[in-house]
Structure 1
Amino acid sequence: MRFLLDDDQREFARALDRMLSAAGTPAVARSWAAGDTAPG
């Protein structure tokens, strides 16, 4: 059995990546991990 993403799923993944990147999600997660809950 092969699980492959179709074009719609790939486009959704790209859109989600753009939204999360624009929101600074990695930086917010790092801040929260360091105990600073102000961002986000």
Structure 2
Amino acid sequence: MRESTFQGNFFLSKEHLSKNVSYNRKLKQKQLLFNYYLLKL
């Protein structure tokens, strides 16, 4: 019983981490585009 809940939590945290990574990637891309735009001005 305890082991299954632990596995479930581990799976959830893994999914959460992957979502965070893709979100951070998008943020970085936006920052890079913004910096590029500022340099162009």
TM-score range, shorter chain: 0.3 to 0.5
Instruction: Look at both structures and tell me which one has the larger radius of gyration over its CA atoms.
Output: 2
TM-score (norm 1): 0.47
Higher helix share: 2
